[in-house]
Chains A and B, each alone.
Chain A
Amino acid sequence: MSDPRKHVTALLVAGALTAVLTGCASGTPAVTGSSSAAASASATPALTGTVTVFAAASLKSTFTKLASDFEAKNPGTKVTLNFAGSSDLVTQITQGAPADVFASADTKNMTKLTDAKLVDGAPVNFATNVLEIAVPPSNPASISAFADLAKPGVKVVVCAPQVPCGAATEKVEKATGTTLAPVSEESSVTDVLGKVTSGEADAGLVYVTDVKTAGDKVRGIPFPESDQAVNTYPIATVGTSKNKELAAAFVATVTGSEGQKVLGDAGFGAP
């Protein structure tokens, strides 16, 4: 067979396989004995299908673990995860991206979705997060308190006010009366952390959970004023979900005891 024909055949086969698999995946939703969204996963009879979860970037490691736990407990299910900035996710959902569950890094973005009538039922708060100062392990600028960040010559990087962690930063600035002069205002907390781990910045304001995830690449310096700006994380089933029972089951896992344990271990606060 000549090369072009080989390619066409391969494409056709791949196409057929994909069609078959998606057909299987979007099959009939699992029927469970209980219709309550709060039922714990282990009590329900077999759930099947794929649930697509859109979650804020700061939930990456925790939700990845919860997803694999969920799949292990419910064989025949698959959890597809999509991590991005909360407002990006809202844009995607409103433009029609297929999502079953949405977990936001703040209530503002969840409200955007509720206002667009794309939420099924009421959102549930499942975690909180506060800011922490992250410095390179050697702490070149000798930061020990929030006020140190405003010292001249310190290269501090923060989130831009338009994103949740930036809004929190502004709140802390107001609460402490210290105005920062950052060298950069990033659009995502991951970029802030990146500038600290690469050694470009003397300090950065990130979430407690980010410091924990970074391990020994950064040193975390908690500060008492951080509880002036608490970010609350809500989760909800998306109104356009095709598998609401499965979505509800996942939400239950997150809000239930094992979800809370995983979140707590990562540094999140109780909702």
Chain B
Amino acid sequence: MNRRSGTGYTGIPPWIYAIAAAGAVFVLLPLVAMVAKVNWPQFIPLITSESSLTALGLSLRTSAASTAACIVLGVPLALVLARSPFPGQRLLRAFVLLPLVLPPVVGGIALLYTFGRQGLLGRSLELAGIQIAFSTTAVVLAQTFVALPFLVVSLEGALRTAGNKYEAVAATLGARPSTVLRRVTIPLVLPGLASGAVLSFARSLGEFGATLTFAGSLQGVTRTLPLEIYLQRETDADAAVALSLLLVAVAVAVVGLSYRRPRVEAAPEGAFR
């Protein structure tokens, strides 16, 4: 292997590169296989059909909405988990991260039992005139449920790494806690927040199991791109593959353009310990 001049010592033994290459191949090969199966002459008509475009538009809109919801709910959660020790904090963190390990279908069932017509909140919601089942709102709820942990984990890591030394300085300079949050905390973890948001968006885009169980599948209302692919699979394999490639391309574009490596800061000394 030729070493470029100016590069430092990486400390990586040569055989690690071989295993890393195998890992990369393992992830990329199925994508390559899929690309190979695409019916290229039919590709554009397939992805621009009415049902495809409707599904894509619905996916993008709902993912954007759920990412926004994740930010609104996730930032406070991450702040509390990272900066404010209280009894039961570890338990709370475990539950917040639960959707990460839960099969999405189980998440959908749980949402159904909460917001469904006969669910925990269902009757009260119906009385208030709010119908959640079979609506786009249900899709956004399902996506937020599964994507929230991504944002919380990403942001909590960034907050812990950053420490609270700058917040302490700001406080001693006379800034109220809300001012500290707005002018110091958030700007300093913006990269972590951004990468968390991107992960949430990508997860929402690919969400399937919970949506299917909780929201149903109707074109333009609840049939997001993954559900459209699932349906097309029954009759038109070419359409399914084409749409799958479309979904992959959108996800790669979003993640590739916005995901940044988080910065690492050194530990403080003195009175701010």
Contacts and interface: CB of A to CB of B under 8 A. Distances in A.
Asked if chains A and B are in direct contact (CB within 8 A), the reply is: yes
B110 interface: no
B217 A187 contact: yes
B232 A183 contact: no
A12 to B, nearest CB: 23
Q: Interface extent on B, as a size class? A: 20 to 34
B216 interface: yes
A213 B213 CA distance: 20
A184 B234 contact: no
Given A191-B212, A199-B118, A200-B116, A184 B230 contact: no
Nearest to B235: A162
Contacts of B235: 87, 162
9 contacts: A155-B134, A157-B216, A162-B231, A162-B235, A184-B218, A195-B216, A199-B117, A200-B112, A200-B118
Query: Which 8 A-B residue pairings sit nearest by Cβ, starting from the closest?
Result: A184-B216, A183-B134, A162-B234, A199-B118, A162-B235, A87-B234, A200-B133, A184-B218
Contacts of B222: 184
Contacts of A194: 213
Given A85-B234, A187-B231, A198-B118, 10 more contacts: A87-B234, A160-B234, A162-B232, A163-B234, A184-B216, A184-B217, A185-B217, A186-B212, A191-B213, A199-B117
A194 B236 CA distance: 26
B127 to A, nearest CB: 15
Given A155-B134, A199-B116, A199-B117, A87 B233 contact: yes
Contacts of A157: 216
Given A199-B116, A200-B112, A200-B116, A187 B216 contact: no
Nearest to A157: B216
Interface string B109-122: 00010001110000
Interface of A: 85, 87-88, 91, 155, 157, 160, 162-163, 182-187, 191, 194-195, 198-200
B183 to A, nearest CB: 47
B216 to A, nearest CB: 3
Contacts of B117: 199-200
Nearest to A109: B234
Nearest to B112: A198
A160 B134 contact: no
A88 to B, nearest CB: 8
B43 to A, nearest CB: 20
Interface string B227-259: 100111111110000000000000000000000
Residue among B218, B234, B237 with the highest chain A CB neighbour number at 10 A: B234
A160 B230 CA distance: 11
Nearest to B133: A200
Nearest to B116: A200
Contacts of B219: 185
Interface in B86-118: 112, 116-118
A160 B231 contact: yes
A246 to B, nearest CB: 30
Given A198-B118, A200-B112, A184 B134 contact: yes
Nearest to B227: A187
B214 to A, nearest CB: 9
Contacts of A87: 233-235
B58 to A, nearest CB: 14
Contacts of A200: 112, 116-118, 133-134, 216
A90 to B, nearest CB: 10
B200 to A, nearest CB: 26
A157 B219 CA distance: 13
A198 B217 CA distance: 16
Contacts of A182: 218
Interface string B174-209: 000000000000000000000000000000000000
B130 to A, nearest CB: 15
A185 B133 CA distance: 14
A59 to B, nearest CB: 18
B44 to A, nearest CB: 22
Contacts of B116: 198-200
A89 B218 CA distance: 24
Contacts of B217: 160, 184-187
